[in-house]
Amino acid sequence: MRLRSSRQPDETPDDKPGRLCYAPPSPQLDPWCSGPTCQPVTLEIAGSNPVGSAILRIPLRPVRPPGRGVPLSIGLAATAHPRHLCQTPAVNRRPLLVLLGLLAVATALPVTGGLMGSSKTATASQVPATTTPAATTPVVTIPATQRPTASVDPATAPPPSATTPQPGLADVAIVPVTNFRASATATTGKELQAILAGTSTRYTALELIAGEADAILGALGTKRPADPSRLILADDEADLAADLTRNGKRLAFLRADAVGPEVRSLAWDDKTLFGVDRVKDLAAWPLTARLPAPAAADAYAPSTTWTLFAGGDIMLDRGVYETLAVKRKGADFPFDGGTAEITSRVCCSPFGWRVPRTRRTGNAGAFRALIKGADIALANFENPAPNNPKWHTKGTVFSADPKFIDGLAGAGIDYVSLANNHIRDAGGAGLLQTITNIQKRGIAYSGAGRNLAAARTPAVFDMAGTKVAILGYDAIAGSYHATASKIGSAPLSARNVKEDVAAARKAGADLVIVYPHWGTEYDPTPFANQKALARMIIDNGADMVIGNHAHWAAAMEVYNGKPIWYALGNFVFDQTWSEPTMEGITLELTFRGTRLVQVHIRPHIILDKAQPNFLDPAGDGRVVMGQVFTASKGLWPW
C-alpha cells in the first residue's frame, strides 16, 4: 500500500538522428525559448537567465551543439588489467624417509589408542569446493595482454588444516548481472551454457568470484568449461563490478546481498529479484548457492526493498490538451502507452529537424503498470492547473485543465515537483488552486507554496520504514520565486538547500531527494556551474538529485557516491518537432532502506503529442541512451 504525504494544503527516410536540415533561427526568433518572458534559450540557464538567477553568477553558455552521439559497442572496452593466478604445483614423489616416517606413525596409532589425530579433520562432504591452496602455492604474474581464465582445480588442492575454522554455509540467493550500460534485461540457463561452450552471441565469458565459483557453478547445474578462457575469476565483488564496467560482454553472478547500482541485475527466465516486478518472497527466487551465510543485517530479502519511479516533464496544455480534450482521448491516455519503434526519419520539421516516424508494437498499458507498481512515483508538473484554465494553442504560457490531473492519479503518480519556470503562468491564485487540485487527487507536492516557508517544505513518504523527504527548487524563473509574503516557487540556493536538508533530517528523514529545475534547454551536457550546483546540493546533505528543464534526456553523474540525473527529458509533452524532444528516459530505482542497490533506465518516445511508449534499448532506444551516456563522459563511472 502506497503511503502518501501527510502535508496539509496551503489555504486559499534518413536514419541519421539529430542532424539539422538547416541552421536554427537566430536567438531573437528562437522557437525553443520558454518561460514567462520567452527569452532566448541560450540565456535560460541556472544563474544567468534574465527571468531569474540561482546562487551563482554564471557566464552565458555557447549555443547547443547539434546532433547526438551513439556510443560504440560496450564490448569494445579497454584491455583488462593484469591479474595474479594461483596454481597448485604438481605433486612430487615423497622421499623414502618421509614414507618410512608415516609408516611409523601408522604403527603407533593402535598403541596410543588413537589419541594422535583425535581432532577430526573435515570429511569430503564438509570440504568446500573452493578450498584455498596451500601457502606454498607459487604466484604467477600474468602479462597485461593476458587475462587469467580459471583458478586451480579444487580436486588437486590440499584440504584445509584441521584447525582452520570453516564459515557457516547457507542457501544464499544469487543473481545474474552484467555491465551497467547493457541493454539486456534477462538471461537463461540455455544462454549460460552457450557462454561456457563459446557459442553465445551476446557474451564472451562468465565471471565469478574465485572463492564462490564452484559453489555457484554447482548451483547452476554446470561445471567449469573445457575452454578455461570462458570462465574469468575475480578477487571480490568490487573487482568483479570493475571488470564488468570495462568488459561489456560478460555475464556474472553475485550474491544478492552484494549487488549494487554499478552493475545491471538481470531476470532469470521470467523472475527478477529487483525492481517493480521483483518476487516478493525469496522462496520464489529459483537461484541459490551454498555460500558463507551473510550477517543477519546484510541478508537480502526482497520484501524489505522498495522501488521509486521517476519521470521528466509533464505539461497538459497546448498539443497535449488537443489530444486529450479535442480528440477525446481522455485523461488516462498519456499513461496507456506500451512499446513502439521508429520506422524511418524524415526531413524536416518547421524548426529544421529530422523527425521520426513511428508505430506502436503492442504491450499497451506497460507504462501504467510500471508506474503503478512502484512504491513511489515522481514527476515534474510543468504547468499550473487553475480552476478556470485557458487552452493555449501556441506559445510558452501554460495552464492545464484540473480534470486531466485524474490521469496522473489514476496512473499512480504520487508526487510532483511544482518548482519550475511555468508554475505561476496563471498567477499566484492559480498556483494555490493548482496545489488544491493536486492534493484533492491524493498527489503530494513540494517546491512551491503560499510563501517561501511553504515552498521550501518537503513532501515526506514512509517507504518500508525508510522516511523519504523530497525538496523541489527552481533556478530559472526568478520572478516566480516565493518570498516571505509572495506566492511562488522555492529558489535554488546553497543556503536554502543546506537549511532545508538539515530540517528534514531533524524531522526524521532518512533519505533526502532534491528535484531541481535548472540548466540549458535542448542540451544534454551540464555546464560547469550547473555541475557546481549539483555538487553543492550533495555537499549540503542530499542523497540524490533528479533534475529537469532541458526537455532532452541529459547527463548522469556520481559525486561522492551519490547519483545525479541532470534531466530526464520530456515525459508527457507536445514537442514533436525533433527527435530529442520526443524522446526521454524514466528511472526505476530499487532501495534497501536508504541504500540504492539497482538502477534501471528505460528510453521512450512520445506519440500523439501526449503518450510515452517504451523503446527497445538495444534498438531504437540506443539513440537517446547514447545521448545520455555521451553527455555523461567523465561523470558516470559505470
Domain match, 287 and 324 both? no
Host H or E run for residue 506: helix 494-506
Q: Are strands 583-592 and 288-292 parallel, antiparallel or unpaired?
A: unpaired
What is the rounded average pLDDT of the residues 206-226? 97
Q: Is the pLDDT of residue 232 over 60?
A: yes
Query: pLDDT by residue (tens digit) across 148-193?
Result: 333 333 333 444 444 444 559 999 999 999 999 999 999 999 999 9
Domain match, 494 and 527 both? yes
CA distances from 374 to 377, 414, 438 (A): 6, 10, 20
d(CA 628, CA 556): 7
Q: Is the pLDDT of residue 1 over 70?
A: no
Domain match, 283 and 382 both? no
- Closest by alpha carbon to 388, among 350, 434, 354? 434
At 118, is the pLDDT very low, low, confident or very high (cuts 50, 70, 90)?
Answer: very low
Domain match, 353 and 272 both? no
d(CA 278, CA 88): 42
Assigned C-alpha cell, 382: 510543468
Domain match, 511 and 607 both? yes
The count of other CB atoms within 10 Å of the CB of residue 505 is 14
Q: Is residue 444 part of a domain?
A: yes
Is residue 55 a contact partner of residue 61, using CB atoms and an 8 Å limit? no
- Where among 260, 294, 328 does a domain terminate? 294
Domain match, 494 and 610 both? yes
Across all residues in the chain, what is the average pLDDT?
81
Q: Is residue 75 part of a domain?
A: no
3-state secondary structure 147-168: CCCCCCCHHHCCCCCCCCCCCC
Cis peptide before 348 (omega within 30 of 0): yes
d(CA 271, CA 267): 5
Q: Is the pLDDT of residue 403 over 50?
A: yes
- Where among 294, 322, 348 does a domain terminate? 294
CATH of the domain at 454: 3.60.21
**Which residues are CB-neighbours of 475 under 8 A, at least 6 positions away?**
46, 47, 49, 52, 53, 54, 491, 492, 516, 517, 518, 533
Q: Is residue 252 part of a domain?
A: yes
d(CA 112, CA 115): 6
For helices 528-539 and 494-506, give the axis angle rounded to 10 degrees. Answer: 30
Domain match, 283 and 335 both? no
- Where among 236, 262, 294 does a domain terminate? 294
What is the rounded average pLDDT of the residues 599-613? 98
Q: Is residue 594 part of a domain?
A: yes
Q: Is the pLDDT of residue 217 over 70?
A: yes
Query: pLDDT by residue (tens digit) across 417-429?
Result: 999 999 999 999 9
Q: Is the pLDDT of residue 471 over 50?
A: yes
CATH of the domain at 183: 3.40.190.10
d(CA 420, CA 423): 6
Assigned C-alpha cell, 60: 552565458
N-terminal to C-terminal alpha carbon distance within the chain: 33
Q: Is residue 560 part of a domain?
A: yes
At 220, is the pLDDT very low, low, confident or very high (cuts 50, 70, 90)?
Answer: very high
Decide: residue 251, CB within 10 A, 0-12 exposed, 13-18 middle, 19+ buried: buried
What is the rounded average pLDDT of the residues 237-249? 96
Query: pLDDT by residue (tens digit) across 265-317?
Result: 999 989 999 999 999 999 999 999 999 999 988 999 999 999 999 999 999 99
Decide: residue 124, CB within 10 A, 0-12 exposed, 13-18 middle, 19+ buried: exposed
Looking at per-residue pLDDT, the higher value among 545 and 36 belongs to 545
Task: State the amino acid at position 142 in one-letter form.
Answer: I
> Coil, helix or strand for 256?
helix
pLDDT over 70 percentage in the chain: 74
The count of other CB atoms within 10 Å of the CB of residue 279 is 16
**Residue span of the structural domain in which 496 resides:** 309-631
Beta bridge partners of 517: 474, 548
Domain match, 545 and 585 both? yes
Query: pLDDT by residue (tens digit) across 11-22?
Result: 333 333 333 332
Domain match, 521 and 600 both? yes
Q: Is residue 424 part of a domain?
A: yes
Beta bridge partners of 570: 313
Looking at per-residue pLDDT, the higher value among 30 and 214 belongs to 214
- The structural domain count of the chain equals 2
Domain match, 479 and 564 both? yes
d(CA 382, CA 394): 15
Domain match, 227 and 253 both? yes
d(CA 225, CA 47): 58
The count of other CB atoms within 10 Å of the CB of residue 462 is 17
Q: What angle do CA 483, 485, 491 make, to 5 degrees?
A: 15
The C-alpha cell 507554496 sits at 449
pLDDT for position 255:
97
What is the rounded average pLDDT of the residues 484-494? 98
d(CA 53, CA 47): 4
- Closest by alpha carbon to 582, among 551, 625, 616, 555? 551
CA distances from 28 to 36, 39, 47, 178, 625 (A): 16, 8, 20, 48, 32
pTM here is 0.78
Q: Is residue 500 part of a domain?
A: yes
Domain match, 279 and 391 both? no
Is residue 309 a contact partner of residue 587, using CB atoms and an 8 Å limit? yes
Q: Is residue 52 part of a domain?
A: no
Query: pLDDT by residue (tens digit) across 492-533?
Result: 999 999 999 999 999 999 999 999 999 999 999 999 999 999
pLDDT for position 167:
59
